[in-house]
Amino acid sequence: MSTVTIVLLVILAVLIVALVALYFVGKKAQKKQEEQQAQIDAAKQTVSMLIIDKKRMKIKESGLPQMVIDQTPKLLRGSKMPIVKAKIGPQIMTLVCDEKIFDIVPVKKEVKATVSGIYITGVKGIRGSLPVPEKKKKGRFRQALERAQEKAGAKPVK
């Protein structure tokens, strides 16, 4: 066998081993995430609160309790998280918001929120409906891609 064939077979074997390893790691991570979601659902409560402020900020700068900061993985301490300051009853609290609903959380309005510990998982408006977040402008590449797909008769990617 030539050296090129041997090198290609070794590379193929390494790729197959990497794919198998990623499959099992992904399956384990998915199972862990489902367990965490079940715990969040078990501990959720509906609370009326006044949203004072919302920002994406680093967890060290967020004003969360030191115990929460210590429990977060070191890789996440530098990344920005959706943080909401809210007045719940007479108390002003700093809460972490779910990434999916962060854009629809209104500032300086009273809402009914589903809270699990310090984690906001859902928001509903008390007086009227919540404002619909504005859609982001599409870039030139995305616009050109959609036009090309329209001409070709394909379904647009969203």
Q: Note whether residue 77 is domain-resident.
A: yes
Answer whether residue 158 shows pLDDT above 80. no
pLDDT at 157 over 90: no
- Note whether residue 74 is domain-resident: yes
CB neighbours of residue 96 within 10 Å: 19
* pTM of the predicted model as reported, rounded to 2 decimal places: 0.67
Tens of pLDDT along 87-111?
999 999 999 999 989 988 988 989 9
| pLDDT class of 45 with cuts at 50, 70, 90 | very high
Closest CA to 92 of 55, 46, 51, 124: 51
Q: Give the CATH number for residue 49.
A: 2.40.50
Does 34 map to a domain?
A: no
User: How are beta strands 91-97 and 119-125 bridged, if at all?
Assistant: parallel
Is the separation of the CB atoms in 114 and 46 below 8 Å?
yes
| Number of domains present in the structure of the chain | 1
157 falls within a domain: no
pLDDT value of position 156: 59
Confirm whether 105 is domain-assigned. yes
Looking at the domain assignment, is residue 150 inside a domain? no
Instruction: For residue 120, give its domain range.
Output: 44-125
Q: Is the pLDDT of residue 32 over 60?
A: yes
Q: How far apart are the first and last CA of the chain?
A: 48
pLDDT tens by residue, 120-153: 999 988 877 776 666 677 788 888 888 888 888 7
Residue 18 domain flag: no
CA 131 distance to own-chain centroid: 20
In a domain, 151, yes or no: no
Q: Other CB atoms closer than 10 Å to residue 114's CB: what's the count?
A: 18
Provide the pLDDT for residue 97: 93
